[in-house]
Amino acid sequence: MAALISQKFGRRREVSWLITLLPFLRWANRVDRHTLRADLVAGLTGGIVLVPQGVAFATIAGMPPEYGLYAAMVPAIVAALWGSSWHLVSGPTTAISIVVFATLSPLAEPGSSQFVSLALTLSFLVGLIQLALGLLRLGTLVNFVSHTVVVGFTSGAAVLIALSQVKNFFGLPIPRGAPAHEVVTGLLTQLHHVNPYIVAVAMATVLASVITRRWLPRVPHMIAAMVAGSLLALALNRTFGDSTTGITSIGALSVGLPPLSMPDFSWSRIEQLLPIAVAVALLALTEAVSIARAIAVNAEQRIDGNQEFIGQGLSNLLGSFFSGYASSGSFNRSGLNFAVGAKTPLAAVFSALALLGLVMFLAPLAKYLPIPAMAGILFVVAWGLIDFHHIAEILRANRQEAAVLVVTFLSTLTLQLEFAIYTGVLLSLMLYLNRTSKPGLDDLKHSPGAVARFCAGAGLPDNPPPKIVRINGSVFFGAVSHLEATLQHIDELESGHRSLVVMASGINFIDLAGARMLAQEARRRRALGGGLYFLGLKEEPLDALRRYGALEQIGSSNFFSFEEDRYDAALEKVCKTSGLAK
d(CA 449, CA 454): 9
Q: Which of 314, 399, 286, 344 is nearest to 40 (CA)?
A: 344
Task: State the average pLDDT for the chain.
Answer: 85
Q: Would you state the pLDDT for residue 511?
A: 94
H helical segments located in 363-441 = 371-385, 388-397, 399-414, 417-436
Q: Would you state the pLDDT for residue 252?
A: 66
Q: Which of 21, 131, 68, 27 is nearest to 346 (CA)?
A: 27
**Whether residue 296 has pLDDT greater than 70:** yes
Secondary structure letter of residue 176 according to DSSP: T
Confidence tier at 282 by pLDDT (50, 70, 90): confident
Q: Would you state the pLDDT for residue 9?
A: 46
pLDDT in tens, 60-86: 899 998 999 999 999 999 999 999 899
Q: Would you state the pLDDT for residue 565?
A: 42
Confidence tier at 175 by pLDDT (50, 70, 90): confident
pLDDT in tens, 199-255: 999 999 999 999 998 998 878 788 889 889 999 999 999 999 988 999 988 776 777
Omega cis (within 30) before 259: no
- Measured between alpha carbons, how far is residue 77 from residues 42, 345, 454, 582 in Å? 14, 9, 60, 71
Question: What average pLDDT score do residues 159-186 get?
Answer: 88
H helical segments located in 71-112 = 74-82, 94-104
Predicted TM-score (pTM) of this structure? 0.75
Per DSSP, the residues of 241-273 read -HHHH---B------SSPPP------HHHHHHH
Question: What average pLDDT score do residues 471-491 get?
Answer: 89
3-17, 88-102, 103-117: least confidently modelled range: 3-17
Q: Would you state the pLDDT for residue 1?
A: 46
| C-beta of residue 123 within 8 angstroms of C-beta of residue 319 | yes
**Whether residue 124 has pLDDT greater than 90:** yes
Q: Would you state the pLDDT for residue 571?
A: 63
Q: Would you state the pLDDT for residue 91?
A: 94
574 or 162, higher pLDDT: 162
End-to-end CA distance of the chain: 67
Q: Would you state the pLDDT for residue 291?
A: 82
CA R_g for the chain: 31
Longest dimension (CA), the chain: 102
Burial group, residue 205, by CB count within 10 angstroms (0-12, 13-18, 19+): buried
| C-beta of residue 261 within 8 angstroms of C-beta of residue 318 | no
| C-beta of residue 210 within 8 angstroms of C-beta of residue 229 | no
pLDDT in tens, 305-353: 889 999 999 999 999 999 999 999 987 788 878 877 889 999 999 999 9
Q: Would you state the pLDDT for residue 362?
A: 73
Residues 6+ away with beta carbon under 8 Å from 323: 67, 70, 71, 120, 258, 259, 260, 261
Q: Would you state the pLDDT for residue 440?
A: 85
Burial group, residue 453, by CB count within 10 angstroms (0-12, 13-18, 19+): middle
* SS3 label, residue 535: strand
pLDDT in tens, 407-464: 999 998 888 777 887 888 888 888 888 888 889 888 776 555 544 455 555 454 555 6
Q: Would you state the pLDDT for residue 452?
A: 47
Question: What average pLDDT score do residues 475-503 get?
Answer: 85
pLDDT in tens, 364-401: 777 778 989 988 988 988 888 788 998 999 999 888 89
